[in-house]
Amino acid sequence: MSAYRGLVQLGLGLWTTLRQIGRGASTVSYPEEALKLPPRWRGRPVLTRDPDGDERCVACQLCSAVCPTRCIELQAGEREDERRYPVSFRINFSRCIYCGFCEEACPTLAIQLLDAFAFSTEHHRDLIYEKEALLIDGTGKHPHYNFYRHAGVALHGKDKGQGSNESPPVNGRSNLP
């Protein structure tokens, strides 16, 4: 009885194996073949631009504060039109663990973990990416968001009260009820 059951099990296992023969390989012969990445894949962080083409990062330093490996370093500056921007932005990818905390912390949706992942080099020093290498020309995953449309600060070309959901500036000298 037990011998019969063993043969049936063996036959079933063999059938499972034989069934795969016609189905082709489930592995990908990377790097010759491109990988199909899931949409929420966390690859190398990049700095994106807003829909108007200006860089999104306002150098608030939250990404560097939240980074568990302290691999982000930046210096804030102010442009002539009073926009804040990072004068320098540096990520040391030999320390980055692709946890995505920076993306979560970013209030302007500037830093995003996109799909790039294969960028190995021979030297650690080649893994220190500067702003020029991080800033891309697109909006990344969020095509419509522009932080400065919602912020209360005035810029050149955007006066007080012109932000979204803002009323025009009040007269702070008026004593009328």
Binding mask 30-59 for other proteins (x = CB under 8 A): ----------------------------xx
Bond into 45 cis (ω within 30)? no
Identify the burial level of 90 via C-beta atoms within 10 angstroms of its C-beta, where 0-12 means exposed, 13-18 middle and 19 or more buried: middle
- 29 is a site residue for other proteins (CB under 8 A): no
Q: How many whole angstroms separate alpha carbon 106 and alpha carbon 63?
A: 6
**Per the annotation, does 67 bind a ligand?**
yes
C-beta separation of 86 from 57 below 8 A = yes
- The single-letter DSSP state of residue 155 is B
Which residue, 43 or 61, is less far from other proteins as judged by CB?
Answer: 61
Q: How far is the CB of 150 from other proteins (least distance, A)?
A: 5
β-strands 111-113, 128-129 pairing:
unpaired
Q: How far is the CB of 146 from other proteins (least distance, A)?
A: 12
Compute CA distances 76 → 79, 83, 87, 89, whole Å. Answer: 10, 10, 6, 9
Residues 108-137 that bind other proteins (CB under 8 A): 108, 125, 128, 130
- 171 is a site residue for other proteins (CB under 8 A): yes
**Per the annotation, does 96 bind a ligand?**
yes
Give the angle subtended at the CA of 155 by the CAs of 72 and 49, to the nearest 5°.
Answer: 40
- 26 is a site residue for other proteins (CB under 8 A): no
Q: Which residues are annotated as a binding site for [4Fe-4S] cluster?
A: 57, 60, 63, 67, 96, 99, 102, 106
Q: Which residues are annotated as a binding site?
A: 57, 60, 63, 67, 96, 99, 102, 106
Summarize as ranges the residues that interact with other proteins (CB under 8 A): 58-62, 64-65, 75-78, 84, 88, 90, 107-108, 125, 128, 130, 147, 150-154, 160-161, 163, 165-177
